[in-house]
Chains A and B, each alone.
Chain A
Amino acid sequence: MNARLLPYVLILPVTLFLCLFFLYPFVLVAKQAFSTGSGFTLDNFSEVTSYWKFPITMRNTLLLAAAVVPIQLALALLMATMVNRMQRGRDLVLYVWTIPLGISDLAAGIIWLAIFDQSGFLNSMMSGLGLIEKPVNLLTFQNPGIVFLAIMLAEIWRATAIMLVILVAGIGLIPKEYYEAAEVFGASKWKQFLRITLPLLRPSLQTALVLRVILAFEIFAVVAALGGTLFPVLMGETYAYQFDLLNSGAAAAMALIILAISIGFTLIILRILRVPKGATI
């Protein structure tokens, strides 16, 4: 086989797959979003954005992403450096930490619901310890803060591992020589982390953040399980348009809005964490 053609042949199956199952449906959705039966129109977009809940869902989604992603990033970095230092049991720890990745997000939501529920584990524990007289309702409309906190916890528990896996792989790629040189010049561990690990981890950080931020805008099942209707998010509204209101045009418009936000943030992350031209590990 011609060596110049080989790479293209190798990516052909994936490209075909993506075209068939991603690009084609995407074109259909875009068509649906920009039409209401008669030609090009922005009606669907003005309908969903003028709905009184839209600003609330937008704020909730962004707020949740802003609260969850930085914590996950810090945690993932910490966990990745810890794993990297381990002499023994490294694989075991990694396996355990990535278990939540294998659980569907709805199941994760329900696990945390079982903890925060009125007759849940947290309540039984607190009343068992004598901290409260009788079970209290935590996830109610009067405690939006607790609802938010519960969703945050569930998200952090569930999705930190995806960043961890990428960062562990990235740290493994950094050559030992840099650290040895730093040792020679007497740099502290913290300084080594700041000046060597972080800069050389940029490409991995990019991937991890892009993936995580996109997933954060698509959050749905965890919120539905824990918050019900108390904490409306963009994806939940999209579902409601499609299945409760049977309005596919509006649902498609919502989907495109989420896509636009995701692309926007992806570009920002790529720009901030760009690797200078010619710089390699």
Chain B
Amino acid sequence: MTLYSKMLGAASGIAMACTAFAAQAETLFWSTQAKPVEEAQAMREQVLSGFADGVDYQPNDGGPWLTRLQAELQAGSGTIGVLGALHGDFSAMKPDDLVDLSDMGVMSASGTFNDLAKLGTDSMQYIPWMQASYIMAANKDALQYLPDGADINALTYDQLIAWAANAHEAADEPKFGFPAGPKGLKHRFFQGYLYPSYTNGVVRTFASDAAVTAWEKMRELWAHTNPASTNFSFMQEQLLSGDAWIVFDHTSRLAQAFNERPDDFVAFPAPAGPTGRGFMPVLAGVAIPKTAPDMDAAKALVEYMLKPETQIATLKATNFFPVVDVALPDDLPASVKAAGDAVAKMSASADANPGLLPAGLGDKGGDFNRVFVDSFERIVLAGQDIRTVLDDQKGTLAAIMNETGAPCWAPDAPSEGACPVE
């Protein structure tokens, strides 16, 4: 070995030791949220830079996120300090793997959210971090095709279908957009919007006659839906490109459209059906895995995330709304104003019928979603008989409910034990 290569080796050794040291000092924030590059950067620069001890913010897809977490849990030691994920991600985990956060002294202002965060146990398994919802958005050019007498802030499903039909006729191609792509959130539309609005339930009423009507309406709407919707996952893209005029999606998946061309689009509440205006919140939380290397730093970071200033910074960075009581400032991005307005109108409407996120399903959350996605693919895309498909899928749904023993959640009537499929 020459002197040169020896020096090179020593230098690289020192460099590696330095990075290892730096990684030790910062708390690793392992998240499934704020994944797009701009959002991740905003999280680092605007939200987490105020945390004294330094944070290494690493967002990732759900699969790799879980794989690394499970590897660390199995090994019994890890580098992840704080987890950031959706309620559904946490409910798929064993509660024992998360540190009990009940004595943190911070929690969300919503009792419902705090209950959800217990994951069916008696203690807080994660702390609610931020919330969002799903809304409708439209190109202002499409407003002229609204059916007579329709109020955009109090639409019914029939009016929405009529509107989509008018737009279809005017443009000579279907202009409704629906996130039915592989990464689209179509299942939430069925679970939180269509079913509550038509059947006043999700699980109990899965195969009811009212559910058949709901799917018939879905078919009518689909007739005026851009057929390329099966490749759409973020409806802001189709709003901006003009491929769709009227769309349904997650607030943060519409944000780019409002931020780029705030004057061209309008956000409005989801439509109502015979049993009210169904809608669903999205809840993300922060938790600490039991393998966190520095428990105090992790807890300090969780506390920091719940501070009002941090919550507002998070809102600006990710378009997810605060879960604690804060006074919103005036200089918010256009997307936040539009979405906030629509969500407020939706929850304040007289016929509001809020649905909760599926709870108690454990790691069967994916299977639960698949029941709805499969029903959609068979009924709407493959054109199979609605009654046959629902009766068939009903068995799968009942098996999931019995296996997990999950009790009913709103808007289904409460149940003793596992929620029955009637």
Contact = CB atoms under 8 A, between A and B. Distances in A.
A122 to B, nearest CB: 14
Nearest to A136: B173
A228 B367 CA distance: 19
Nearest to B363: A246
The DSSP consensus for interface residues of chain A is: loop
A140 B182 contact: no
B254 to A, nearest CB: 20
A137 B241 CA distance: 14
Contacts of B378: 52
Nearest to B376: A229
Interface residue range, chain B? 20 to 34
Contacts of A142: 227
A229 B61 CA distance: 19
Contacts of B92: 246
Contacts of A124: none
Contacts, number: 49
A52 B396 CA distance: 11
Nearest to A143: B227
B243 A118 contact: yes
Contacts of B367: 245, 247
Contacts of A141: 227, 230, 381
Interface in A134-161: 134, 137, 139-142
B228 A139 contact: yes
13 contacts: A118-B228, A119-B243, A134-B173, A140-B227, A140-B228, A228-B181, A228-B182, A229-B182, A243-B63, A244-B370, A246-B92, A247-B363, A247-B366
Interface of B: 61-63, 66, 92, 173, 180-182, 226-228, 230-231, 241, 243, 363, 366-367, 369-370, 374, 377-378, 381, 392
Interface residues of A, number: 20
Contacts of A247: 363, 366-367
A229 B227 contact: no
A134 B242 CA distance: 13
Contacts of B363: 246-247
Contacts of A244: 366, 369-370
A52 B63 CA distance: 24
Interface of A: 52-53, 118-119, 134, 137, 139-142, 224, 228-230, 242-247
Given A137-B227, A245-B370, A247-B367, 14 more contacts: A52-B374, A52-B378, A141-B230, A224-B182, A228-B230, A229-B377, A243-B61, A243-B63, A244-B366, A244-B370, A245-B366, A246-B66, A246-B92, A246-B363
Nearest to B180: A229
A190 to B, nearest CB: 46
